[in-house]
């Protein structure tokens, strides 16, 4: 059985297959409706969501399947203290596939471990958001023809933004060139940089000002400040407005650059850009449906869609708990910490297998 917890769970070949299927599902929906007849998708959302949950539910219904679940954990048994493991065991009996969003890094991996059905990560804390990355890569290919050779500027809160982490890893895997533009203190975390370096030989350019590089970018990917994840010593009010993409800034961008954003936007992407032909963010959110349809169908292994190229990971039992306080292993006491070895050309490092933070 296959899960989709991080991008590492799919090979490039499989991702391309999913994109081909998404193309077909987008353009010839009638051929595919009926595909998930009799199948149930559980959406377990412990954190707020609009696009991810609704596009997954829409995707399932369009394939003639059904969706059930909760969007408010206060209305579920977690409010009574139920663990992720027990919730996973229950939901296994009620559905054929799970999408989970949770505030702890690594929570989706726990769900996958205890559920006997495929699990998809709909976002886990500030760790990763792999289905958003699939949609982003699909949108870049749709607009620009390929990810390979594209200069992709990811800007905004790269520290807490899980969509940014997964996107950076996806762009590097498919041969794009990364530029990271983040305010001081909001740079992309070491665990992402380490993977970029060890696994894909990529050293992203790190900058603080979008204006300094905008003219070189093929893709301008904006993220909001993840204020809800800030530690108490950071005041979001002081940060807001420190960067803004608007028409004046876009004057220096390439005429064929594209503007992307995982949404929701707060005050970092001006509404005046919505009419700019370079704006791709509404297409990007619309692509959430066909890409998620294709992913659901592939993970359910329907007919000839069985995924056949599982990437391998080197997992071992860890000798101590993870240092990341937001790692699920520090919240659910029955979990045994595990490590993953990441091998580069000349050296290797060890990371937490759940939240992927590097062990020192
Ligand atoms: C993102 C998320 O939840 O991480 N939203 C989404 O799924 N499109 C981005 C965000 O909340 O900033």
Q: Model confidence over 56-89: pLDDT tens digits?
A: 999 999 999 999 999 988 878 787 889 999 999 9
How far is the centre of ligand 1, averaged over its atoms, from the C-alpha of 217 (Å)? 22
Evaluate if residue 106 carries a pLDDT over 90.
Answer: yes
- Is 305 contained in some domain? no
pLDDT bucket at 303, cuts 50 / 70 / 90: low
Q: What is the CATH number of the domain that holds 102?
A: 3.40.50.1370
- Is 229 contained in some domain? yes
Give the model's pLDDT for residue 214: 97
Q: How far is CA 161 from CA 82, 173, 184, 214, in A?
A: 27, 19, 15, 20
Evaluate if residue 241 carries a pLDDT over 70.
Answer: no
Q: Which of 271, 340, 293, 359 is nearest to 57 (CA)?
A: 293
Average pLDDT over residues 204-231: 94
In terms of domains, do 189 and 140 share one?
yes
Count: domains in the chain? 3
How far is the centre of ligand 1, averaged over its atoms, from the C-alpha of 262 (Å)? 6
- Is 304 contained in some domain? no
- Is 1 contained in some domain? no
In terms of domains, do 168 and 95 share one?
no
**Distance (Å, rounded) from C-alpha 204 to C-alpha 250?**
22
Q: Which atom of ligand 1 is nearest to the CA of 163?
A: 4
In terms of domains, do 110 and 155 share one?
no
In terms of domains, do 151 and 238 share one?
yes
Protein residues whose CB sits closer than 6 Å to any atom of ligand 1: 51-52, 123, 129, 132, 162-163, 224, 262-263
Average pLDDT over residues 108-135: 98
Q: Which atom of ligand 1 is nearest to the CA of 52?
A: 7
Evaluate if residue 239 carries a pLDDT over 80.
Answer: no
pLDDT tens digits for range 144-180: 999 999 999 999 999 999 999 999 999 999 999 999 9
In terms of domains, do 66 and 99 share one?
yes
Evaluate if residue 306 carries a pLDDT over 70.
Answer: no
Evaluate if residue 5 carries a pLDDT over 90.
Answer: yes
Evaluate if residue 16 carries a pLDDT over 90.
Answer: yes
In terms of domains, do 280 and 266 share one?
yes
Q: Which domain holds residue 68?
A: 7-129+287-299
Give the model's pLDDT for residue 308: 79
How far is the centre of ligand 1, averaged over its atoms, from the C-alpha of 163 (Å)? 6
Q: Quote the mean pLDDT of the chain.
A: 94
**Distance (Å, rounded) from C-alpha 173 to C-alpha 273?**
30
In terms of domains, do 28 and 104 share one?
yes
In terms of domains, do 115 and 155 share one?
no
Q: Are 288 and 15 in contact (CB under 8 A)?
A: no
Give the model's pLDDT for residue 248: 96
Q: Which atom of ligand 1 is nearest to the CA of 285?
A: 8
**Distance (Å, rounded) from C-alpha 295 to C-alpha 96?**
14
Evaluate if residue 327 carries a pLDDT over 70.
Answer: yes
Q: Which atom of ligand 1 is nearest to the CA of 226?
A: 12
Tokens of 209: 């000002």
């Amino acid at each position: 059985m296959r899960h989709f917890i991080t991008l590492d769970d799919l090979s490039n070949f499989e991702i391309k297959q999913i994109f081909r299927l998404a193309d077909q599902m987008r353009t010839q929906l009638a051929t595919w409706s009926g595909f998930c007849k009799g199948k149930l998708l559980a959406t377990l959302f412990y954190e707020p969501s609009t696009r991810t949950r609704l596009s997954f539910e829409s995707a399932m219904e369009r394939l003639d399947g059904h969706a059930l679940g909760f969007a408010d954990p206060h209305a579920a048994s977690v409010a009574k203290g139920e663990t992720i493991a027990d919730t996973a065991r229950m939901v296994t009996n009620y559905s054929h596939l799970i999408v989970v969003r949770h505030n702890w890094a690594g929570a989706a991996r726990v769900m996958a471990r205890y559920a006997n059905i495929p699990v998809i990560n709909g976002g886990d804390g500030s760790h990763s958001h792999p289905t958003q990355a699939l949609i982003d890569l699909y949108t870049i290919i749709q607009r620009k023809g390929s990810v390979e050779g594209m200069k992709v500027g990811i800007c905004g809160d790269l520290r807490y933004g899980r969509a940014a982490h997964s996107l950076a890893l996806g762009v590097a895997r498919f041969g794009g060139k990364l530029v990271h533009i983040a305010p001081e203190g909001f740079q992309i975390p070491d665990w992402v940089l380490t993977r970029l370096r060890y696994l894909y030989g990529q050293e992203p350019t790190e900058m603080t000002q979008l204006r300094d590089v905008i003219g070189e970018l093929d893709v301008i990917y904006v993220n909001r400040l993840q204020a809800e994840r800030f530690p108490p010593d950071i005041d979001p009010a002081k940060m807001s407005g420190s960067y803004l993409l608007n028409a004046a800034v876009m004057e220096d961008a390439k005429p064929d650059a594209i503007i992307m954003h995982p949404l929701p936007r707060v005050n970092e992407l001006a509404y005046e850009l919505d009419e700019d032909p370079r704006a791709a963010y509404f297409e990007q959110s619309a692509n959430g449906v066909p890409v998620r349809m294709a992913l659901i169908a592939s993970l359910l292994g329907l007919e000839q869609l069985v995924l056949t190229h599982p990437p391998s990971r080197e997992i071992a039992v860890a000798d101590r708990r993870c240092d990341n306080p937001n790692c699920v292993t520090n919240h659910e006491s029955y979990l045994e910490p595990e490590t993953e070895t990441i091998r580069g050309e000349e050296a290797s490092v060890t990371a937490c297998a759940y939240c992927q933070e590097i062990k020192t």
